[in-house]
Each structure stands twice: as structure tokens, then as C-alpha cells.
Amino acid sequence: MAEIGCYCRVSTEDQSLDRQLESTQEYAEGEFGADLSDLRFYRDKSTGTNTERSDYQQMMADAEDGEIDAVVVHSISRICRSISDLERTASRLEDAGVELHIISEGLTLRPGESDPYQTALFQLLGVFAELEANMAQQRTKEGIAARQQNEDYHHGPAPLGMEKNDGLLVEGDNYHEVVSALDMVQKEELSKRKAAERLDTSRPTINRALDRADLYGL
């Protein structure tokens, strides 16, 4: 039985890999008839705007050394964040004779097989992955601008995850943790109660932060 590489990545330390681990394992078992012992799990927790991720690099090295025969990922955004990143990954896997299976988008790229539709769709999805990354960066910039210009917070306490500097709101020490938790609440990946516990605050404070999502670039 060929060994299958299951690659999973999240963008922050406090996000869970469990859903991707379960998804890739179930797919590998169904598609290849693989047992758990046939699977190699690669896990990364990083921003992922480039491919300098330790388990990604290890997986690609294993693929090029002939130690795995297929790579399975939950979605295209988990393995790439730009078109060049996507093309580089796909090319390296193809040269190594390794299949790439992308579950959510229903794509399979096999070395030596030419499917114009799949190739075009793959490239199109790469465009969207890069656009999504760029939009996230832009939202962050817009959130900073909104905080600096917002008159409501020139007086009174600073909002969750923020502090004041000469009357302007700036990022506090736990700002990125707050943004990550609020983003997960919006996506219904985390309850407000658990977000409040994680951030050592109250549910009303979480609600107030969500009401001013623009201050966090969300």
C-alpha cells in the first residue's frame, strides 16, 4: 500500500487542525483504502502567506524522495496562498510522480494525465486563493485606519485587544489573539462563551467587539 501524505494548516496558533485531520483521513481511507498506518500527517500553524512552513517542506522532501505517493489536502487555500505558490507546489509534485488530491474543490491532479478542464479550474482556484490573501491584508489595513479615525474611542476605555497611545487606538499585546477569536466566532467555529473564556473577558465584551468588527479589520 502506498503511503499517503495528509497536509493540514491553520493560520494561527489557537486554531484547531482537527477538522482537516479528520477530513483528509476519511478521504484517504475512502479513496485509497488506506489504513491509519498508511498515512503520514503533516501539520503547520502559521500565517501561510508563503511556503516557509516546516511540515510543508518536510512533506515536499518526502514526496521528492519517493516516500509518499499522494498528497491529500482539505482545500486549495490550505496548501497555497498565491498563484506562484500553487504552481510551484503542483509542479514539484508532478515531477516527483506524486498525485495531489484537493477534497473541497473535488480536484485530482495525476502525473502524466492531461485534463484541460481540471487544469483550468486548478489555476482559477489559485487566483481566488491569492485574492483572498490579499483581501485579508487589506482588511487589516482598513481596520487600523478605522481605529485611528474613530472618534468614539478618543475618550473612555479602549476596546478589547487594544490600548490608547496619544488618544489613538493601537494594537494591544493580545490583539492578534482577539482578532483570531472574533473571526472564528463570526464563522461559527467558536462559541461566544468559549471566546470569552479564551480571552479572559465576558460575553457582553465579545458582543461589543463584534458590533465594531471594522475596528478589527473583520
Assess if residue 92 is contained within a domain: yes
Assess if residue 166 is contained within a domain: yes
Going by C-alpha positions, the residue among 172, 179, 176 that lies closest to residue 157 is: 172
pLDDT digits (tens, 9 = 90+) for 117-126: 767 777 777 6
Half-sphere exposure in the Cβ direction for 190 (13 Å, CA): 22
CATH, residue 77 = 3.40.50.1390
CATH, residue 208 = 1.10.10
Asked if residue 110 and residue 164 are part of one domain, the reply reads no
Asked if residue 175 and residue 88 are part of one domain, the reply reads no
Mean pLDDT along residues 39-59: 78
Q: Bridge-partner residues for 71, per DSSP?
A: 5, 100
Q: Is residue 141 over pLDDT 80?
A: no
Mean pLDDT along residues 122-140: 66
pTM reported for the whole predicted model: 0.57
- Under a CB-based contact definition with an 8 Å cutoff, are residues 43 and 15 in contact? no
Which tops the pLDDT comparison, 46 or 33?
Answer: 33
pLDDT score at 111: 85
pLDDT score at 49: 47
Asked if residue 111 and residue 23 are part of one domain, the reply reads yes
Measured between alpha carbons, how far is 22 from 4 in angstroms, rounded to an integer?
14
Measured between alpha carbons, how far is 81 from 216 in angstroms, rounded to an integer?
22
Helices 116-149, 83-95: crossing angle, 10 deg rounding: 150
Domain carrying residue 109: 4-129
Measured between alpha carbons, how far is 176 from 161 in angstroms, rounded to an integer?
8
Average pLDDT of the chain to the nearest whole number: 80
Q: How far is CA 205 from CA 12, 176, 193, 199, 208, in A?
A: 22, 16, 11, 10, 5
Which of 95, 129, 163 is where one domain is finished?
Answer: 129
Q: Is residue 148 over pLDDT 60?
A: no
pLDDT score at 52: 58
